[in-house]
Structure 1
Amino acid sequence: MDSFLGAQLKLMPEMSDLLQKRYRILQTIQLTKGIGRRVLGEQLSLTERETRKELDALRTQGLIEVSREGASITAEGNEVLTELKEVVRLWSGRSQMELMLKKYLNIKDVIIVPGNVDNDTNTSMLLSQEAAKYLESILLNEHIIAVTGGSTIASISHAMTESSRWKDLLFIAARGGVGKDVRLQANTIASLFASKMNGSYRTLYIPDRLSEEAYMTMKKEPFIQEMMDLYERTNIIIHGIGDALEMAKRRNSSDEEIELLRSRGAVSESFGYYFNNQGEAVHHIRTIGVQLNQLQHIEHLLAVAGGAKKANALISYFKQAPLQTVLVTDEGAANEMMKVIPKNI
């Protein structure tokens, strides 16, 4: 930690808690755009008196405005959030957790946002914003970007800055459809990214699971072979990581298959592969899409998943994840993962 910041904390240790509290209030107001005092207090577990006091302080400093529609952030408030971001990361301990998790999971980087998606919808927005920011930092012209499905990945497309500065970006579906909600399938999400980033997209309109006969037949189709070639040339993959049994239920797996997953100790799922506590693939859905062995040569892998409930799934998946993976997660998942990290790491 910076020596000046360290000295400040020794002199006034209560300053850290107050700064983090006001920063989180300001951040929540920025995300929600017109939030009422009661709802704000409920989201941040503050009493009505405490909420009123902090809102008055922020308004006096010109960081927020309060109207009938609720509290909204000012331009100066936005500047303060930007300037204090790194300080708050240091004082909150997230910076140190990121370094420890990066080493423990043996991956390129870990980015942790405040909160827990299990009980705070604003945290989902923060996950999306950080993932979008990272993606924008690595994008180059003519990149091929494969995306998986799910609400988390879909929300990243909404958080991207609409721009025409990139040329010839191609977004492709990393697999066929999963679940009944078309809006959250990889095909739709690829089109959303392309629309936002002035790019094009390619879809993969086939079932998520295929019989062996259908699988062998589909592999011979020219458009499938073309997609497989695109996967080999993909520069970036954006994907989620799920709880094994939860994902199996979303796929309407049979009772027999779910029991098979239980018996084999399946904990996590990604790309249609189910992994146990040791990171070993114990089951695989027969499907057309990105295959596990293709991940090793992908330049950038961006994994986005949060929530304390996903901690075990994350640890399971990262037992075998490629080194070039960057994980964007939240404090809920990070705090749970920290419980199993050796103290001498």
Structure 2
Amino acid sequence: MESFLAAQVKLIPEMSTLLQKRYSILQTIQLTKGIGRRVLGEQLGLTERDIRKEIDALRNQGLIDVSRDGAAITPEGTQVLIELKELVREWSGRLQKEQQLAKKLGIKEVIIVPGNADHDENTQMLLSQEAAKYLESILTDDKVIAVTGGTTIASISNFIHDTTKWKNLMFIAARGGVGKDVRLQANTIASLFSDKMNGSYRTLYMPDSLSEDAYTTMKKEPFIQEMMDLYERTNIIIHGIGDAFEMARRRNSNDEEMQLIKEAGSVSEAFGYYFNDAGEAVHRIRTIGVQLKQLMNIEYLLAVAGGTAKAKALISYFKQAPAQTVLVTDEGAANEILHILSQTP
């Protein structure tokens, strides 16, 4: 089948471009659930005339329905997206780019979604959707899954299927809260995952940053000891990777700590650790949660982050990341990472 399609592309080279365009339109309709033609055209950079033509073609094939509420994907359309995914991934060049990036970063796998999360909300949703699919592909019964906070990680729960397929799943907060928005904190996200997958969850209602005395005292508490034991038994961690200064601002770090982060040459942040451009942990906050040394023993590490602006932070973090890590990112970040690495001697 693949050789037949390859022969078709050689005979009709414009077929690949048209297929990728219609695939992008169908994918965007799936994500947005009731999008109008004008908004769809703006998001994909297509003219109203072009959108009208493609919408008519997709509707005639029974892949979408169009009503006053906008365009919505049909079950047949969803199946087409599934069946064409790997082909479009190869024709777009993302498959080769994924392999190249995984090798350069020294990690197990990279999954690249189209777009740039810095400018496109749909790309943010695609990141979360792919992360949800990967999580569902590796799950088995009796797993402990730790999650960090953040917009992208929170969004993953929207794409997880409601299921009772797995037994004895436990979702735990990988750390205390970050920022003021409770919806984006690890505790809340752990409960969202648990609700979707018929699991249980444990929360960690602790400040993200503790004084030395408070940290020493709290570590002796029985419920903290229980959480620390769960971290040792964690099988899967789902986490984001942040720009060092952006994460410091979210934590409302004081001027003294901001200066320490700057003087240390911090570029990226994950799990409360700040890393410089060589991937060295140069600063950390005192927090109860997953510790850096524990990551090497985790069976599956799923990192989710995208956008051109995150490229330097991703390069920094992956200079020390465990080799079993899988990164879900976007073309914006992937292209910028490869560009930066190509300039490095």
Structure 2: distance between partners of 1:258 and 1:91: 45
Structure 2: distance between partners of 1:3 and 1:83: 16
Structure 2: distance between partners of 1:341 and 1:259: 28
- Matched residue, 1:269: 269
Gaps of 5+ in 2: none
Percent identity of paired positions between Structure 1 and Structure 2: 76
- Within 5 Å, which residues of 2 pair with 1:134-149? 134-149=134-149
Deviation of 1:48 (Å): 1.4
Structure 1: distance between partners of 2:71 and 2:189: 32
- Matched residue, 2:298: 298
- Matched residue, 1:47: 47
RMSD over aligned Cα, in angstroms?
A: 1.5
- Matched residue, 1:32: 32
Quick one: which amino acid aligns to residue 123 of structure 1?
A: T
Q: Structure 1 residue 68 and structure 2 residue 78: aligned? A: no
Aligned length: 343
- Matched residue, 2:171: 171
- Matched residue, 1:23: 23
- Matched residue, 2:150: 150
Quick one: which amino acid aligns to residue 308 of structure 2?
A: A
- Matched residue, 1:231: 231
Q: Structure 1 residue 280 and structure 2 residue 317: aligned? A: no
Deviation of 1:60 (Å): 2.4
Quick one: which amino acid aligns to residue 99 of structure 1?
A: Q
- Matched residue, 2:250: 250
Structure 2: distance between partners of 1:158 and 1:58: 26
Deviation of 1:342 (Å): 4.3
Structure 1: distance between partners of 2:39 and 2:82: 24
Structure 2: distance between partners of 1:120 and 1:183: 21
Offset from partner CA, 1:209-248 (integer Å, 9 cap, x none): 0000111111111111111111111111110000110000
- Within 5 Å, which residues of 2 pair with 1:306-345? 306-342=306-342
Deviates more, 1:266-275 or 1:152-161: 152-161
Deviation of 1:135 (Å): 0.7
- Matched residue, 1:109: 109
Deviation of 1:164 (Å): 1.0
For normalisation by structure 1, the TM-score amounts to: 0.96
Structure 2: distance between partners of 1:156 and 1:313: 21
Deviation of 1:200 (Å): 0.8
For normalisation by structure 2, the TM-score amounts to: 0.96
- Matched residue, 1:219: 219
Sort the Cα spacing of 1:61 and 1:187 in 2 relative to 1 into closer, same or farther, 3 A.
same
Offset from partner CA, 1:104-143 (integer Å, 9 cap, x none): 1111111111111111111122111111111111111111
Sort the Cα spacing of 1:56 and 1:293 in 2 relative to 1 into closer, same or farther, 3 A.
same
Structure 1: distance between partners of 2:256 and 2:117: 31
For the residue of structure 1 that corresponds to 2:319, the secondary structure is coil
For the residue of structure 1 that corresponds to 2:283, the secondary structure is strand
Structure 1: distance between partners of 2:96 and 2:341: 13
